[in-house]
A and B are shown apart, each in its own frame.
Chain A
Amino acid sequence: MEDVLVIGGGNAALCAAISAAELGARVLLLECAPKDFRGGNSRHTRNIRCMHDTPVDVLTDAYPEDEYFDDLLRVTGGETDEHLARLTIRSSSDVRAWMAARGVHFQRALSGTLQLSRTNAFFLGGGKALVNAYYRTAERLGVRIVYEADVRKLEMTDGRFLAASYVKNGEAQRVEARVLVAAAGGFESNLRWLREAWGPAADNFLVRGTPYNMGWVLRELIDGGAQMIGDPTQCHAIAIDARSPKFDGGIVTRLDSITLGIVVNKNGDRFYDEGEDLWPKRYAIWGRLIAQQPDQIAYSIVDAKMQRRFMPSVYPPIEANTIPELALALGLDPHALKKTVDEYNLAVEAGTFDHTILDDCKTHYLTPPKSHWAQHLDTPPYWGYPLRPGITFTYLGVKVNEHARVLLQDGVPSPNVFAAGEIMAGNILGKGYLGGIGMTIGTTFGRIAGEGAARYVMA
């Protein structure tokens, strides 16, 4: 019989394991990935969103609680639990010291992310460096870690956890524990489940993060009586380069060129206002937009004027000197693309181009319009990038209370099941996305869950 069983191996799981072990509990952590790919989606993260009232260490200016909460309200459209959200936000103000004491190093925000230096603290070396530091700390504290432990079954009675079964090297194992911390992420790697929600379109989705978030633990908790939260069909998806790997492509697959040119679907037609809003805010809608296009593919097209204005991309652009040649190179109908570009160019009005604000360069009498940064697409060479929806995470989770205890169908908290991280993030982030808040939720609830679990076994 174990004291504390932590299922998952990312930021939230590690924060829970470390917190529990520091209070003296015996902790077993089951990570389903092999060691080289441990850490779930945390290995692809880079920063944590922190409130602060004055400039502190790596953070500039101030980012007070209310502004943080307003940002959260805006992106979620109100789909957040204010009590849990404010608890998370407040705990983020002193979380860096806790993290630093457990081996995480921070750095100042550098190029390409300066707009985040006020709100987000950056991990030196990124999320995988953080995960590595936490594993070292956990090992030092005596946490036992089993890699490639694929948990498929939870035994629960009346919301009480008894045991978990996992497969390791093809062999079934069963482990009993007095308390469970479920921190095993969402289900975005489970293509079959995505297909249930999205139909055959899901086959064309790419998963930006870990291939190990299969959602087994989430499903077992729900089947065991936990209350669900978040839209079970929805996922956060951005537009990424269609040439990216099916899984684990991470940050480098994103493409920032959309606002600087036009985006067409496989018929060569534009389908959405590329200049609707400033890029970081619009980043997240394009995955869904492309998911709704035929064959779930689209093409971002820019001309030579714009080629230095976005972050360098990992895949080379498909280049041509005329629009019909570019269409052929992209596999599109040259006449259709030429027609789209001609119509667009005719509609572009003169303005003063400024990509850092919502400028006055827009189209006139064009459907859909391009509201800002509209420039003639007329200077060769033209560059095209194929785009597909890239899933970051899913919203479905289990409902928890402020002690990170999983709530059962009748609203009563489970006596010995805690949840932390993406598996419960939907309590706070019901939809939308706010950069770095996933790590804030995971760290906050990981710590609460770990401490709660340890107190439970010590009592």
Chain B
Amino acid sequence: MSWLEPSLAAEGARIMTICNACRYCEGYCAVFPAMEQREQFGPADLGYLANLCHNCGACLPACQYAPPHEFGVNVPQTLSQIRVASYQLPRRKTVLMLGIASAGLLLLVLLAGTAWTTLFARHDGGAFYEVISHDEMVRLFLFAGAWALVGMGLVFAIRHGVVRGVRRADFGAIRRGWSDALRLVNLGGGGEGCIEEHERPAQVRRIYHHFVFYGFLSCFLATIVAAFYDNVLGWRAPYPFASLPVIFGTLGGVALLIGCAGLFRLLRERDVALSDKGERGRSMMLLVFLFATAATGLLLLVFRGTAAMGFLLILHLAIVFGLFVTLPYGKFMHGFFRIAALIRFASEQGD
């Protein structure tokens, strides 16, 4: 059986057939030029088109066939439904439970395993390893990191056929695909902006997404540098405020706070007709986890010299742990599918 429900496959094909005869939206994003290169819209085509769609929403209010027209064309929502199906991820609630349970469990274990006196003692300048030993922390996050990497690799390996082109993309296509992804050119409504509240196009969504993405990247970089300091140079945390890990982490954390809060607000206020309920839920879940990670990380930095450090450290670690555990099964995966789809698009258009 196909990964795509027959009724959703039929609806996707129906809508794309109408769009292909109209083509008024071709200036908005990559979905429409990619569609125009096709005449039939089977599950493989729909999966690819759905992952090219960034859900900017511009094509819905512009559509002369949008509901309540009898053709009832809703491209963003239909592609959103197909996109979520294409990842074949576990149910939203399962992922949420997995994240909360693993974070909660770790929180309990760490709290229980730490002596009360150690936990609430004042640690000079943030001596993290007095609360949790260095080796314990390394083991914990080697496991979490491996879990996330293997999980994401497996999910992508199983599902990437949806977005990968038949032929191997050349270097130029890979470069263009990454460039489109890093600049989010397809999240701009063709220059007009995404559709936000009151059907008013604006670029805010794209900007917030940049905050989230580059914020995450900055935090990731902070971790890499810290790992290098720790394992290669033998410099143990905590690092001074003026050090690279702290600077990258702080900038990234603040960017994540801004971006996650902004995207969350936009998602909550957004017309529900623009996307699939499941995809919205997954997005919000990821945003909450990222926000909590950034917030606890920054709190830890600010209060690392106080008696609150022990608890904040454990809370932060537990949330990061929960985030890592759920990464392969939530909205985070869209990034990989999106980039693969954009590379395929660059490759197809280059022909």
Contacts and interface: CB of A to CB of B under 8 A. Distances in A.
B33 interface: yes
B64 A105 contact: no
Interface stretch (A128-136, A156-164, A263-271, A448-456): A128-136
Interface in A207-260: 245, 248, 250-252
Nearest to A311: B21
A250 B64 contact: yes
A124 to B, nearest CB: 5
Interface string A120-143: 001011111100100010000000
A126 B21 contact: no
Contact of A125 (B33, B36, B62): B62
A122 B70 CA distance: 26
Contacts of B68: 36
Contacts of A122: 27
Contacts of B192: 105, 124-125, 129
Most buried by A among B69, B191, B200: B69
Given A129-B62, A248-B70, 6 more contacts: A111-B26, A124-B27, A124-B191, A125-B59, A125-B192, A245-B70
B21 A129 contact: no
Nearest to A139: B198
A354 B27 CA distance: 29
Nearest to A126: B24
Contacts of A312: 17, 20-21, 39
A314 B33 contact: no
A108 B39 CA distance: 23
B18 interface: yes
Interface of A: 36-37, 43-44, 46, 105, 107-108, 110-112, 122, 124-129, 132, 136, 245, 248, 250-252, 311-314
17 contacts: A108-B27, A110-B26, A110-B27, A111-B36, A124-B27, A124-B190, A124-B192, A125-B62, A125-B190, A126-B24, A129-B62, A132-B62, A248-B70, A250-B65, A252-B65, A314-B17, A314-B21
Q: Max chain A CB contacts within 10 Å: which of B26, B28, B33, B59? A: B26
Contact of A126 (B20, B36, B62): B62
B27 to A, nearest CB: 3
Contacts of A107: 26-27, 190
A152 B311 CA distance: 73
The 9 closest A-B pairs by CB, nearest first: A126-B24, A107-B27, A125-B62, A129-B62, A252-B21, A314-B21, A124-B27, A252-B22, A110-B26
Contacts of B71: 245, 252
B39 A252 contact: no
B64 A43 contact: yes
B33 A124 contact: no
B170 interface: no
A417 to B, nearest CB: 31
Contacts of B95: none
A128 to B, nearest CB: 5
A264 B33 CA distance: 35
Main secondary structure of the interface of B (DSSP, over half): loop
A251 B24 contact: yes
Interface of B: 17-18, 20-28, 33, 36, 39, 58-59, 61-71, 190-192, 199-200
B9 to A, nearest CB: 16
Contacts of B65: 250, 252
Contact of A248 (B20, B69, B199): B69
Contact of A313 (B21, B24, B69): B21
A128 B195 CA distance: 14
B345 to A, nearest CB: 15
B146 to A, nearest CB: 46
A136 B200 contact: yes
B61 A132 contact: yes
A243 to B, nearest CB: 12
Nearest to A241: B21
Nearest to A43: B64
A251 B23 CA distance: 9
A44 to B, nearest CB: 6
Contacts of A245: 70-71
A136 B61 CA distance: 13
Contacts of A313: 21
Contacts of A250: 22, 64-65
A272 to B, nearest CB: 24
A127 B61 CA distance: 11
Contacts of B191: 105, 124
A107 B62 CA distance: 14
A283 B346 CA distance: 35
A312 B35 CA distance: 11
A252 B16 CA distance: 12
A223 B115 CA distance: 94
A245 B191 CA distance: 33
Contacts of A252: 18, 21-22, 65, 71
- Name, among A124, A127, A250, the residue most crowded by chain B CB atoms within 10 Å (CB to CB): A124
Given A107-B190, A312-B39, A128 B17 contact: no
Contacts of B70: 245, 248
Contacts of B59: 125
Most B Cβ at <10 Å: residue of A107, A128, A129: A129
A251 B61 CA distance: 17
A142 B66 CA distance: 27
A128 B61 contact: yes
A37 B192 CA distance: 22
Contacts of B62: 125-126, 128-129, 132
Nearest to B192: A105
A237 to B, nearest CB: 19
Contacts of B67: 36
B271 to A, nearest CB: 13
B165 to A, nearest CB: 20
Nearest to B70: A245
Contact of A124 (B23, B28, B64, B66): B28
Contacts of B36: 111-112
Nearest to B190: A124
